[in-house]
Amino acid sequence: MKKIEKIRTKLKVIFDEFKLDMYILKLIYLSSKKEFIITECVSIYQVVSGAVQMYILMNILINIIIEVTTSKATIYSSHLLVWAIVYAILTFINSVLGSIYNTSINILSINIRKYIDNILLRKISDVDLSLWENPDEMTKMEKIYSTHGYIFNKNGFDLLGIFNAIIGIFVNISLMFTISPYLIILIIIPSVFDYVNARIYGNKIWSLWDTNSDDKKNITQAKHVFMNNNIKVEMKINNTSNYFLDVYNKFFGNFFNEQLKAIRNKLKGDLIIGTLNNVITLSIYSYILFLVLFRKTLQVGNFTYLISNIGSIQGDFSYIFNTYGEISSDLPFVKDFYDFMNSRNEIKSKEGSTLVERTNEGISIEFQNVWFKYPSVKGTKNGKYVLKGVSFKIESGKSVSIVGVNGAGKTTIVRLLLRIFDPDKGSILVNGVDIKDINLESYYKLVGILMQEFGTYWLNIKENIKLGDIENKDEEKSEELVKSILDNTGLSSIVKDKLPNGVETMLSSQFSGGVDLSGGEWQKVAIGRVMYKKPKLLVLDEPTSAIDALNEELLFRKIEEEFKGKSSVLIISHRFSTVRTANKIIVIDNGRVKEEGTHEELMNIDDGMYKRMFETQAKGYM
């Protein structure tokens, strides 16, 4: 039974590898169908015509030798000129097709990269947002992102090369089989050794990627520090560059030492296998000489053909096994890519889900006894709930502020509201409908969000703002809206005083004529992007952390004028000056709603948590 199980396991491995090989070829075909077909047709023709040319040359050689040595004409004598013309024509056609092949290969290579990039980036943009908070999934995605271009380009062409080599072997063996069938077995053996060695090495390299993922992360992070524009001044003042170089060298040393061991082991295998291969190859040539000199069963022409063809067949076999050994070492990467591309989102709209329509009113939200713990702690003994029976309501067109100490669960509420995660218990209602039954695409179109960490895009200021609603195709109204937003956010003065090409200036010094903005200026751009979207639910999570108190007050006044009564607003902030004007304030403590009411109501609670926090912060301004 164990033997049968082992055989089944091996067969499954072979089948899975074959499936991944076909997946690679499928993607290459889809990337550029025309060039794929041209490349393969030309390759097959060149392989077959090469063998035919060798066969023609052998017959011409035999014919010439016989005529010279015996002065007798052969049955081929009258066809010598025809053979020569056919050979010349095939050579000319191969030359022309070679140019076509090289052009097609170059186009195919470019299209492969573009196609794979497109489908991967599209998938990355579509995955559950919760994936970004799972370290294991992030490690896998980083591997996919960093290797996909090389993996598919290299292995795709390698698989096509193997296919062409198989055709070449089939053609050459068919012509050679009538001369000496036993040699074929001897020719294959050295290549099998090469394949086994390459496969062992490939599996070792893959295991290094898997077992040293933390080392790889530390290497990557240490390198990125040197290119991080946000901390270059801090690094210079604190003189931390040597520290991070030491970190890089330490973890790279760990990773490199393991790679070095694998390389040395492969070298030992190469030396042993190389010696065996040389012995087998010498044995093959010795056997051929024996047939010519002693058995006299081979003609000189056949001898010449065998010697040249054996090298060709051996080369093809060696290429197949060596190359497939390398491909096999990359297949775990391909499997990760395949699994990722075919993964299904857990959080998605149900079939027939309820559309959230745009109206003149804001979206109403209600949390009903919501309990939640993060997936990373589920099933563990110490896994604690972050939210414990949270209930509150945001009425249509009203504003609600949530305050609390760090770790109280404020940002978790936002994540659930945006359906990055689903609650473990309880319900979240959107306009009275369970959020799980809501069409997410229609919901997200009406949600505007400004987080503490926001997008700083290299585009110009106008394009940055228009990213808030890329479906707005009315250019005239769009331009008017952008101008109004620039005025309302104070960005118009920045455009006038700081941007040499006005709204067309690229917001990155990496571009010619581009300009870098400060953190506060970028935050105004992000606020402008939200205004451009005109959301019906506005979520502000520490939205003004990079803006001074005076500008903060002006901006919130503009936000209130823009959205009051038209949109529902959820504000999370540590600055009480930004939350006190909300229609309702909710105090979260240890995952529970501790207090709820207006600013005035909460300030009237003796020894209330909100009152203590407010007064503590107010003292800092005195």
Structural domain includes residue 485:
no
**pLDDT of residue 181 exceeding 70:** no
Claim to verify: residue 337 and residue 386 sit in the same structural domain: no
Per-residue pLDDT, 382: 53
pLDDT of residue 11: 76
Q: Which domain holds residue 382?
A: 365-456+517-619
Report how far residue 46's alpha carbon sits from residue 37's, in angstroms, rounded to the nearest whole number. Answer: 14
E strand or H helix at 387: strand 387-394
Residue 25 shares a structural domain with residue 98: yes
Give one word for 309, left, alpha or beta, with left for phi > 0 and alpha for psi -120 to 50: alpha
- Nearest CA-CA partner of 543 in 561, 520, 513: 520
pLDDT given for residue 388 in this prediction? 93
Domain membership flag for residue 376 = yes
Tell which of 277, 309, 341 closes a domain.
341
Q: Is 367 helix (H, G, I), strand (E, B) or coil?
A: strand
Per-residue model confidence (pLDDT) at position 593:
93
CATH value at residue 613: 3.40.50.300
- Give bridge partners of residue 434 from the DSSP assignment: 429
- Pick from 125, 168, 128: which is nearest to 145 by CA? 125
Q: Residue 228 pLDDT more than 50?
A: yes
Last residue of a domain, one of 307, 341, 375: 341
Q: Does 195 or 573 have the greater pLDDT score? A: 573
Same domain, 284 and 412: no
The letter for the amino acid at 370 is V
pLDDT of 546 above 70: no
Angle at 610 between CA 605 and CA 613, to 5 degrees: 130
Give me the mean pLDDT over the 194-218 stretch: 61
Residues 405 and 319 in one domain: no
In a domain, 573, yes or no: yes
Percent of the chain with pLDDT over 70: 79
> Is the pLDDT confidence value at 446 over 90?
yes
Pair 317, 391 in one domain: no
Q: Which amino acid is at 463?
A: E
Asked, for residue 429, whether it belongs to a domain, the answer is yes
Residue 179, pLDDT above cutoff 90:
no
User: Which stretches of 161-230 are assigned E, i.e. beta strand?
Assistant: none
In terms of domains, do 305 and 395 share one? no
Residue 330 shares a structural domain with residue 430: no
Mean pLDDT, the chain, as a whole number? Answer: 80
Residues 6+ apart with CB under 8 A from 262: 201, 204, 205, 208
If one counts every other C-beta atom within 10 angstroms of the C-beta of residue 350, the result is 11
Pick 244 or 525 by higher pLDDT. 525
Same domain, 401 and 304: no
- 287 and 414 belong to one structural domain: no
DSSP symbols for 284-334:
HHHHHHHIIIII--S-HHHHHHHHHHHHHHHHHHHHHHHHHHHHHHHHHHH
Half-sphere exposure of 197 (CA within 13 A, CB side): 22
Q: Is pLDDT above 80 for 24?
A: yes
* pLDDT attached to residue 206: 55
Beta-carbon contacts of residue 319 (< 8 Å; ≥ 6 apart): 161, 162, 165
- Write the pLDDT tens digit of every residue in 349-377: 888 899 998 888 899 999 999 999 987 65
Residue whose token pair is 């009480």: 576
Q: How many domains does the chain have?
A: 2
Same domain for 275 and 192? yes
pLDDT band at 381 (very low <50, low <70, confident <90, very high): very low
Residue 205 lies in a domain: yes
Residue 494, domain member (yes or no): no
- 469 is a domain residue: no
Task: Give the SS3 label for residue 393.
Answer: strand
Answer yes or no: is 360 within a domain: no
- If asked whether residues 268 and 161 sit together in one domain, one would say yes
Q: Name the domain boundary from 309, 341, 373.
A: 341
Specify the CATH number for the domain of residue 173: 1.20.1560.10
Closest CA to 401 of 233, 522, 569: 569
Please give the pLDDT value at position 215: 66
Using only C-alpha atoms, what is the Rg of the chain?
35
| pLDDT beyond 70 at 550 | no
Query: Which pLDDT tens digit goes with each residue over 249-302?
Result: 777 776 666 666 766 776 777 777 777 777 777 777 777 777 666 666 666 556
Residues 604, 527, single domain; the answer is yes
Judged by phi (left if over 0) then psi (alpha if -120 to 50, else beta), residue 505 lies in: beta
Contact 97, 45 (CB under 8 A): yes
